[in-house]
Amino acid sequence: MEKIKTLIIGSGPAGYTAAIYCGRASMKPVVYAGLQPGGQLTTTTIIENFPGFREGIDANQLMGEMRQQAENFGAEVRDGSIVEADLSSRPFHLKDERGNEIEAENVIIATGASAKYLGLADEEKYRGQGVSACATCDGFFYRKRVVAVVGGGDTACEEAMYLSSLAKKVYMIVRKPQLRAAEIMRKRVTEQENIEILYNTNTLGLFGENGVEGAHLVRFKGEPNEEKYDIAIDGFFLAIGHTPNTELFKGQIDLDDHGFIITQPKSTKTNIEGVYAAGDVADPTYRQGVVAAASGAMAAIEVERAQ
């Protein structure tokens, strides 16, 4: 049974920043990088809105630098996953995918959230080449171009409005005959001149030689009046929600209706003393790398102050 003072589960901006702070405080943190080392950020290409990089920086390079910085301060980063967690008593008992058992005095959960995709093969084919799940991250690359946003909820409307300030035209691809967003958001998108809403519409696929050039759509799918057609677009944005990676902790830790970890106000503390949550796993609102990094720092500081 390995004894660890501070275990960090997850390796995105939140996990690595927590590791940097914990390492500097001589807490000997151990980080389990998980199935996607570097976190969801690594699914994008160039990051232009992370402070300190005026020319932007490659996402994988940024995460690699964070990992190295954490290791320089004494953090141990392991390329593996935690597959079992018993948070019922302290020290907490966990197990990794190799069967190694761990006793941890403190746990920082930074497992992130995964964007929901439609499940089309083309989404993977064009990921980083026109397919994105973050308008705030990637919208700048589509200035004066044509894009599509998939979804009909508040998030989709917010993404479409943001993109409408940059792009020449924004299509909203909405599966249902109406938007399910709040009335004020529905009003905004329907009144925005360069947003066109395609109701009763599903995406069948994407096409393009060197990145996304268009989408194959179907209106009234399965109905007698079904109609297939194509639209020309440069970018395809998913806005159908995120799934927090909290399956491991269900039934043990307080989660909201969507599965995000509930933390105390202005804190990363969960309902379990000694367990903290940082980054997208506890953030259904912002989902930005810089916000995740800040919450990772908060978690580490709270762990240190609780010693």
Task: Let me know: does 40 contact 13? Beta carbons within 8 Å.
Answer: no
Is the pLDDT at 291 greater than 80? The verdict is yes
Mean of pLDDT values over 238-252:
94
pTM over 0.85: no
DSSP 3-state assignment of 122?
Answer: helix
134 in active site: yes
pLDDT digits (tens, 9 = 90+) for 6-56: 999 999 999 999 999 999 999 999 999 998 888 877 776 678 889 999 999
Catalytic residue among 122, 138, 234, 283: 138
| Predicted pLDDT at 266 | 95
pLDDT band at 170 (very low <50, low <70, confident <90, very high): very high
Mean of pLDDT values over 160-186:
95
Same fold, 2-114+242-305 and 117-238: yes
- In the chain, pLDDT over 90 holds for what percent of residues? 86
Catalytic residue among 22, 58, 86, 134: 134
241: exposed, middle or buried (Cβ count in 10 Å: 0-12, 13-18, 19+)? middle
Mean of pLDDT values over 106-116:
94
Catalytic residue among 22, 122, 137, 157: 137
CATH number corresponding to 117-238:
3.50.50.60
- For the chain, give every domain's residue range: 2-114+242-305, 117-238
157 in active site: no
Mean of pLDDT values over 110-118:
93
pLDDT digits (tens, 9 = 90+) for 57-101: 998 999 999 999 999 999 999 999 999 999 999 999 999 999 999
| Predicted pLDDT at 229 | 97
Mean of pLDDT values over 264-268:
97
CATH class held by domain 2-114+242-305: alpha beta
Mean predicted lDDT score pLDDT of the chain = 95
| Predicted pLDDT at 42 | 77
Name the DSSP letter for residue 260.
Answer: P
Is the pLDDT at 277 greater than 80? The verdict is yes
| Predicted pLDDT at 47 | 85
| Predicted pLDDT at 137 | 84
Distance CA(261)–CA(284), nearest Å, equals 9
End-to-end CA distance of the chain: 22
- In the chain, pLDDT over 70 holds for what percent of residues? 99
pLDDT band at 174 (very low <50, low <70, confident <90, very high): very high
280 in active site: no
Q: Residue 22 to residues 25, 91, 229, 299: CA-CA distances in angstroms?
A: 5, 18, 54, 9
